[in-house]
Amino acid sequence: MTTAQPARSESPWKIGVYAVLAFAVMIGALSVPLLIRAYLFQPFNIPAGSMIPTLLVGDYLFVAKYAYAPGGVPARGDVVVFLTPKDNATAYIKRVVGLPGDRIQMKDGLLHINGTPVMRERVADFSGEDACGSGGKAGTKRWRETLPNGISYETLDCLDNGFLDNTNVYTVPDGRIFVIGDNRDNSTDSRMPRDIGYVPMENIIGRAGMIFFSSDRGGDGGIRWGRIGKFVR
């Protein structure tokens, strides 16, 4: 016959240690995502078409908040998320084309930096998305633009002689940047002083990174599998 043994009771100090460890694990599980969001990466989604063809409506991406900290400065060609100077609350995403001291101007739809036209070449028309806000998905003029530092990307031209195709010269002040949307005729950006204008460095949230999800909101709502994992350039 086997005699049952009384259950051993844990000492109070050991129970206390276990409780502290459990609490620490719980706090860590809750705080790590908050720390990552606060200092490393923050998710954003694209609700409008000002950055087509680089970014499409329905793209979800991570923004690297550490990219310009501490005291870092964006490079020409970086795609950045920032708070608009108008209210310091609304987040926009655009491409940096002007740094402090640069002179920026649009002439006949062509970007000029410090008096020199940026290199660009015509490529196949863009189609499949409503880039111009006309309700259709017909082909839109597309260009490959290359900045003086070698950064290359594609832009769209919805209108010949559009409202923003010819501008005054903008001289970027110290501590600020000049940003433009890749969808040149369908973007509210630094070319509109009353709406955006020059963006203070302190308003920059971070640099656009990887697309982690994409949904075709303007079509059948399906997942764009081919865009997941792409890095924004």
Q: Which of 65, 94, 187, 214 is catalytic?
A: 94
Concerning whether 50 is annotated as a catalytic residue, the answer is yes
Find the catalytic residue in 50, 187, 214, 215. Answer: 50
Over its C-alpha atoms, the chain yields an Rg (Å, rounded) of: 25
Strand residues in 36-151 grouped as ranges (E): 41-45, 59-64, 79-83, 91-98, 103-107, 110-113, 116-117, 119-126, 140-146
State yes or no: is 152 an active-site residue: no
Q: Coil, strand, or helix at residue 106?
A: strand
Residues in CB range of 210: below 8 A, 6 or more apart:
61, 62, 229, 230, 231, 232
Helix, strand, coil percentages, rounded to 5, for the chain: 15, 35, 50
Rounded Cα–Cα distance for residues 184 and 158 (Å): 8
Active site residues: 50, 94
